[in-house]
């Protein structure tokens, strides 16, 4: 007779009356977790104070602090799974997020949790929890899991108190979505010249296919950025799966002379690099040369596979092997770029933007590629990018959102007006960031894996914070 011997199971952590369990999640990179921990501590204390003074509730931490590591975040999927394996599945849980976080650490466990879940974020510009919380929200939505979400500057405003009180009482927070308007195939806009034009572009893509080349997938735990192959095939945007190791091999084949020509081209256009001598803390010339090699390699893959768009995961693996992909991403997505030659001397899409899929996020690959095809076919500037909603504030009666991305966006302006600089080492061991000029733009995001039928569209305008130079 077989004997079943499973690992010992400890009694579940429960929430008493007027008590909620507190969970917090962050980065896979410990350097980032340590850097962001002081802000998390502040907001855990604020939340505890609000819960007890206004509602008579107590927050019980569901996992211990890591004094030996200098923070108290969950920092990998095994840890998150073990924490939730020891939690009462009916207990109310607040997931407090004040920094970027890898959603897959918690999402599979949250998807099975039966009690009410509140995703709670701070709202400030240093280590913004909002973008991390929205990523977790998108991930849970893609997994078909119900949850509530809330964010606040200091956990002291009336909207925050009212919403938190509603969640404690009912397990739900209802947000106003009246600004959203359904547009289906029978909508009047589809009969307008613009609607017919869009449909024609869509039919072209369905027939001819917009192949999306991604160097690995699943960046930074973004489950919401991975779509089923059928969903992509149904809209004429099949995936060409590529490997970051092959990208490194291709970079090594780029002649040094060509890499030097690439950097010299951008400097001749007036692009100013803030070079230093310490590769650990400063942007160095060698790092940018390596990024030029990546730019050329990416262009050659686009040509070799007939890609409509290309993206690099970078954050896992490649970050330990070469300089950050930021410059290469921004440059290849820009129409005005170094003429990338193939091995036999042909120039890859000269004068044409090539959509760069930051973070290999399929949720942005779809609208970016669609928009690129539309704009390029109309003879309009066709640079596209992914952006995170990081922060925002009101200025002279208008609310301005701060949109950023962990990878350079297309410059969409003369290279002389772009301003590359060094990223913080806690997030990127080597490489740069880039700042760009503003403009009017549409924005879009498919919702979940059913990309052929659902999505959200909008439009926005960007402004200079300084009248004479991008901030």
pLDDT digits (tens, 9 = 90+) for 338-387: 999 999 999 999 999 999 998 899 999 999 999 999 999 999 989 888 87
Are 255 and 334 found together in one domain?
yes
The pLDDT value given to residue 465 = 65
So what's the pLDDT on residue 214? Answer: 97
Residue 300 lies in a domain: yes
Helical spans, DSSP H, in 56-93: 77-85
Radius of gyration of the chain (CA): 24
Give the integer Cα–Cα distance in Å for 116 and 93: 6
CATH number of the domain where residue 384 is located: 3.40.275.10
| Residue 393: strand pairing partners | 400
* pLDDT for res 471: 42
CB atoms within 10 A of CB 324: 29
Whether residues 205 and 165 fall in one domain: no
Q: Do 251 and 127 share a structural domain?
A: no
Handedness of CA 224, 225, 227, 233 (dihedral sign): positive
- 160 and 280 part of one domain: no
What is the pLDDT, as a whole number, of residue 41? 96
Specify whether 151 is located in the same domain as 208: no
What is the dihedral angle through the alpha carbons of 118, 124, 127, 129, rounded to the nearest 10 degrees? Answer: 20
What would the mean pLDDT of 418-422 be, rounded to a whole number?
61
Query: Are 128 and 97 in contact, with CB atoms under 8 Å apart?
Result: no
What is residue 436's predicted lDDT score, i.e. its pLDDT? 53
Could you tell me the CATH number of the domain that includes residue 139? 3.40.50.10940
Pick the last residue of a domain from 126, 152, 170.
Answer: 170
Per cent of the chain over pLDDT 90 is 69
Cβ-Cβ contacts under 8 Å for 151 (sequence gap 6 or more):
120, 121, 122, 123, 129, 130, 133
pLDDT tens digits along 80-106: 999 999 999 999 999 999 999 999 999
Hey, what are 391's tokens? 């922060």
pLDDT score, position 201 = 96
* Residue 467 is assigned to a structural domain of this protein: no
Confidence of residue 392 (pLDDT cuts 50, 70, 90): confident
Handedness of CA 415, 419, 425, 427 (dihedral sign): negative
Residue among 191, 184, 188, 229 at smallest CA distance from 211: 229
Are 200 and 64 contained in the same domain? no
pLDDT band at 179 (very low <50, low <70, confident <90, very high): confident
315 pLDDT tier (thresholds 50, 70, 90)? confident
Burial call 205-227: b when 16+ CB within 10 Å, e when fewer? beeeebbbbbbbbbbbbbbbbbb
Provide φ and ψ at 402, rounded to 5°: -100, 110
Answer yes or no: do 229 and 131 share one domain: no
Question: What's the pLDDT tens digit per position in 153-167?
Answer: 999 999 999 999 999
Give the residue from 154, 170, 186 where a domain finishes. Answer: 170
pLDDT of 393 reads 86
**Per residue in 249-258, is it b (16+ CB within 10 Å) or e — as a string?**
ebbeebeeee
- List, as own/partner pairs, every contact residues 48-55 make where C-beta atoms lie below 8 angstroms and the sequence separation is at least 24, other chains included: 50/155, 50/156, 50/161, 50/164, 51/20, 51/164, 54/161, 54/165, 55/18, 55/164, 55/165, 55/168
Identify whether residues 150 and 208 lie together within a single domain. no
Q: Residue 62 and residue 389: Cα distance in Å, rounded? A: 29
Same domain, 202 and 309: yes
The domain boundary residue, chosen from 134, 152, 170: 170
* Residue 246 forms part of a structural domain: yes
Tokens 């799966």 found at: 241
Q: What is the pLDDT of residues 424-445, one digit of tens each?
A: 554 444 444 455 556 677 778 8
Q: Enumerate residues 6+ apart whose C-beta is below 8 A from 252.
A: 293
Give a yes or no: residue 294 inside a domain.
yes
Query: Do 362 and 325 share a structural domain?
Result: yes
The answer to the question of residue 33 being in a domain is yes
Q: How far is CA 229 from the centre of its chain?
A: 20
| Stretch 37-49: mean pLDDT | 97
Q: Where are the alpha helices (DSSP H) in 269-377?
A: 285-305, 326-332, 362-377
Angle between helices 285-305 and 244-253 (to 10 degrees): 110
166 plus 202 within the same structural domain: no
For 426, the token pair is 């806690």
Summarize the confidence of residues 274-287 as an average pLDDT.
Answer: 91
- Please provide the average confidence, as pLDDT, over all residues in the chain: 89
Say how far apart CA 92 and CA 115 lie, in whole Å: 5
pLDDT at 469: 45
pLDDT > 60? residue 423: no
Alpha-carbon distance 81 to 110, whole Å?
Answer: 9
Question: Is position 468 within any domain?
Answer: no
396 found inside a domain: yes
Question: What single DSSP character describes residue 377?
Answer: H
pLDDT score for 431: 47
Residues 340 and 445 in one domain: yes
**330 forms bridges with which residues in the sheet?**
none
What's the total number of domains in the chain? Answer: 2
Residue 96: domain span: 19-170
Task: Please tell me the pTM assigned to this model.
Answer: 0.89
Q: Is residue 29 part of a domain?
A: yes
């Amino acid at each position: 007779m077989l004997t079943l011997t499973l690992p010992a199971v400890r009694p579940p952590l429960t929430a008493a009356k007027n008590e909620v369990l507190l969970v917090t999640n962050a980065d896979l990179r410990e350097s980032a977790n340590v850097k962001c921990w002081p802000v998390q501590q502040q907001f855990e204390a604020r939340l505890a104070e609000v819960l007890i003074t206004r509602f008579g509730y107590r927050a019980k931490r569901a996992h211990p602090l890591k004094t030996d590591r200098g923070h108290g975040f969950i920092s990998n999927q095994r840890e998150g799974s073990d924490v939730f394996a020891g939690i009462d599945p009916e207990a109310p849980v607040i997931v407090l997020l004040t920094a970027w976080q890898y959603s897959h650490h918690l999402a599979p466990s949250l998807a099975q949790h039966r009690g009410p879940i509140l995703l709670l974020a701070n709202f400030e510009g240093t280590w913004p929890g909002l973008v991390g919380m929205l990523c977790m929200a998108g991930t849970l939505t893609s997994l078909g899991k119900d949850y509530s979400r809330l964010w606040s500057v200091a956990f002291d405003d009336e909207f925050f108190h009212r919403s938190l009180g509603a969640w404690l009482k009912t397990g739900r927070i209802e947000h106003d979505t009246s600004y959203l308007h359904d547009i289906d195939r029978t909508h009047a806009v589809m009969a307008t010249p613009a609607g017919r034009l869009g449909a024609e572009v869509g039919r072209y893509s369905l027939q001819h296919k917009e192949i999306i080349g991604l160097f690995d997938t699943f960046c930074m735990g973004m489950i919401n950025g991975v779509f089923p192959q059928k969903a992509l095939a149904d809209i004429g945007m099949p995936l060409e799966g590529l490997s970051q190791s092959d990208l490194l091999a291709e970079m090594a084949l780029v002649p040094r002379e060509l890499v030097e020509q690439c950097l010299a081209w951008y400097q001749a256009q007036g692009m100013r690099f803030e070079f230093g001598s310490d590769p650990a803390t400063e942007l160095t010339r060698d790092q940018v040369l390596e990024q030029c090699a990546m730019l050329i390699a990416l262009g050659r893959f686009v040509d070799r596979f007939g890609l409509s768009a290309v993206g690099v995961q970078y954050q896992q693996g490649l970050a330990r092997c070469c300089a950050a992909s930021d410059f290469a991403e921004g440059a290849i997505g820009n129409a005005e770029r170094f003429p990338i030659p193939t091995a036999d001397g042909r120039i890859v899409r000269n004068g044409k933007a090539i959509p760069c899929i930051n973070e290999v996020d399929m949720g942005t690959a779809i609208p970016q590629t669609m928009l690129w095809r539309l704009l390029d076919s109309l003879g309009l500037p066709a640079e596209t990018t992914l952006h995170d909603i990081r922060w925002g504030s009101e200025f002279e009666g208008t609310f301005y959102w701060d949109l950023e991305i962990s990878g350079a966006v297309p410059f969409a302006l003369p290279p002389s007006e772009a301003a590359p600089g060094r990223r913080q080492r806690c997030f990127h061991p080597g490489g740069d960031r880039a700042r760009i000029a503003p403009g009017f733009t549409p924005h879009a995001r498919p919702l979940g894996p059913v990309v052929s039928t659902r999505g959200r569209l909008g439009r926005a305008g960007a402004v200079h914070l300084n009248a004479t130079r991008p901030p």
